[in-house]
Amino acid sequence: MDRKPEPELMESHEQVKAYAEADFSEPHNDFVTQICDHIGIDFSGKALDLGCGPGDISFRFANKFPNCRIDALDGSRTMLEYGESSIPNALIKQINFVHAKLPLAKTIDFYDAIFSNSLLHHLPEPQVLWQTVKQCAGKGAYVIVMDLLRPANEKTAQKMVEKYAADEPEILKHDFYHSLLASFTLDEIHLQLTTAELNFEVQQVSDRHVLIKGRMLEKQHE
């Protein structure tokens, strides 16, 4: 099945509200656990959350690493407004929400860790993500990306919606289905990384998720 791209940004209030109020605690906790396994438990540097949405993963990351600082970036102002209104008081000094769309016109900072969940499939051109990683990563930076995998056909995608989102609002089911169709395959992701000259590990971690991780051992932005 060929990829069917979807809109890059989630901006309608109905769409953002449904996404922000959905229960993603299990996959988000799993992702933060994967981050911890990758970067260790004593991280205290600067982190960048690309495509942060309403901020839930940034919140969970900040709770795990109370001495770190996070720039949480998203192209949707509506998403960021939701995140800014729901951030726990204890995390306000740790997290800075940044409204910006990829590719970045200028580098915000150089980071010790870059993570991203469910951004890749939203991008019309996937190299935008990998070039942003190279642009913003400091030497030795940890990089970890989680995203959906495109199923073999639309029938399989619909079965996944029925399995994992049966009790969710219709708008969330709609978005999940179209996100599956907009996602990439393992072979496509390997090719993206080869093109970007990034030697990252690619692993399928569920029937619908891929995990991509590695370290930036050179200053790619020089």
Give the integer Cα–Cα distance in Å for 26 and 22: 11
- pLDDT number for residue 27: 84
Residue of 96, 97, 92 lying closest to 74 (CA atoms):
97
- pLDDT number for residue 217: 81
Check: CB of residue 43 under 8 Å from CB of residue 68.
yes
Domain ranges, residue 43:
13-149+185-216
Q: pLDDT tens per residue, the chain (222 residues)?
A: 999 988 766 666 677 677 667 667 788 899 999 999 999 989 999 999 999 999 999 999 999 999 999 999 999 999 999 999 999 999 999 999 999 999 999 999 999 999 999 999 999 999 999 999 999 999 999 999 999 999 999 999 999 999 998 988 898 899 999 999 999 999 999 999 999 999 999 999 999 999 999 999 865 544
Q: Is 30 within a domain?
A: yes
Q: Is 1 within a domain?
A: no
As a three-state string, the secondary structure of the chain is CCCCCCCCCCCCHHHHHHHHHCCCHHHHHHHHHHHHHHHCCCCCCEEEEECCCCCHHHHHHHHHCCCCEEEEEECCHHHHHHHHHHCCHHHCCCEEEEECCCCCCCCCCCEEEEEEECCHHHCCCCHHHHHHHHHHEEEEEEEEEEEEECCCCHHHHHHHHHHHCCCCCHHHHHHHHHHHHHCECHHHHHHHHHHHCCCCEEEECCCCEEEEEEEECCCCCC
Please state the length of the chain: 222
Check: CB of residue 19 under 8 Å from CB of residue 83.
no
Q: Is 169 within a domain?
A: no
- pLDDT number for residue 10: 62
Q: Is 160 within a domain?
A: no
CATH number at residue 207: 3.40.50.150
Q: Is 176 within a domain?
A: no
Give the integer Cα–Cα distance in Å for 163 and 200: 31
Nearest-5° Cα angle at 108, 196 to 199: 20
C-alpha separations of 161 from 7, 10, 55, 211 in Å: 19, 19, 23, 20
Q: How many domains does the chain have?
A: 1
Provide the residue type at 194 as one letter. Answer: T
Q: Is 158 within a domain?
A: no
Q: Is 138 within a domain?
A: yes
- pLDDT number for residue 222: 45
* CA-based end-to-end distance of the chain: 39
Q: Is 173 within a domain?
A: no
